[in-house]
Amino acid sequence: MKKVCLSIAVLALTAILTGSALAQIVSIPGQALPVPTPPLEQRVDHFRCYLPLNNPVVNTNIQLIDQFDAALHAVENINQLTIFRFCNPAKKAVGGVVTPIVNIKHHLTIFLINPQPIIMRTVTVRNQFGTQTLSVADARALAVPTGKAIFPNPAPPAPADLDHYKCYVASGNPVNVLVTLSDQFFAESVGVTQPLAFCNPVKKIHDGITTGILNPDGHLVCYATTPSAFAGATVNISNQFGLFTLELGRPDLLCVPSLKLAWSVVATPTDPTTP
């Protein structure tokens, strides 16, 4: 009987001590239990990108610093932007797996930028199409958070909770996957083929205002898609570079949220004739 009582007392004491310890942990400021980070596809949208039939040009003065620049202690200076694509968030269905839209208000305007130095890199990424190794060259574009409305409605302000992206020309093996894409315009099935661009989230400095990176592990890989049956639309858009009315033609790109697993600069061969 004494042994039973002793065992009960030990269990009771253990429960009291455990409860006290948990209470102390919970009550200590800054000791909240960590919240698991949701998968990338629940934080960053897929984007379906449309060809504008008009291409407004913006003369500006901005500085860009992404993860490639930071490694070189460099800054890229941009003085001209030309609208290249407009992108809607899109729902993607493939093989019975549906990836919904994260935020219906998230849109991107992709601007071509003035020429930048060519530094060849190899980048390994992982996304819903698998793990791929890309050959990445110079930066060609800046993707800017944008508000959108169907013409003639006024465009809302650009979203403040979406990153800017600096996009580099890229190449790699085609994924050759049939997907069904649904956005605010329409839905259809198209083929996703070769990668064309790799995009880093980027810090932007414009008119003395710095826009930081919100999601440093969220990147985009933009793939070519097969011809679309889209009939066209006119939209009003708003972003940090102004208000624009765009006539949109058929979409031809799908930008996919991606994790960057590794990257390296490709060494340039030394010319043996150079002293």
The three-state DSSP-derived secondary structure of 217-247 is CCEEEEEEECCCCCCCEEEEEEECCEEEEEE
- Residues 46, 253 contacting (CB under 8 angstroms): no
- Residues 142, 165 contacting (CB under 8 angstroms): yes
Other CB atoms closer than 10 Å to residue 169's CB: what's the count?
16
| CA distance linking residue 14 with residue 7, whole number of Å | 11
| CA distance linking residue 66 with residue 83, whole number of Å | 21
Q: Which runs of consecutive H residues, i.e. helices, occur in 121-259?
A: none
Which residues are 265's β-sheet partners? 121
Domain boundaries of the chain, sorted by first residue: 43-265
DSSP percent split of the chain into helix, strand, coil, nearest 5: 15, 55, 35
Q: Taking residues 44-73, what's their average pLDDT?
A: 96
Q: Taking residues 50-58, what's their average pLDDT?
A: 96
Between 1 and 108, residue with greater pLDDT: 108
Q: What is the DSSP letter of 56?
A: -
Tokens of 134: 């890309």
Mean pLDDT, the chain, rounded, equals 88
Q: How far is CA 6 from CA 9, 19, 20, 143, in A?
A: 5, 20, 21, 69
- Residues 107, 147 contacting (CB under 8 angstroms): yes
| CA distance linking residue 60 with residue 206, whole number of Å | 8
Q: What is the DSSP letter of 207?
A: T
- The tens digit of pLDDT for each residue in 91-142 reads 999 989 999 999 999 999 999 999 999 999 999 999 999 999 999 999 999 9
Question: What Rg value do the Cα atoms of the chain yield, rounded?
Answer: 24
Between 38 and 125, residue with greater pLDDT: 125
What integer pLDDT is reported at residue 36 of this predicted model? 66
Half-sphere exposure of 116 (CA within 13 A, CB side): 27
How far is C-alpha 90 from the chain's CA centre? Answer: 13
Percent of the chain past pLDDT 90, that is, above it, reads 80
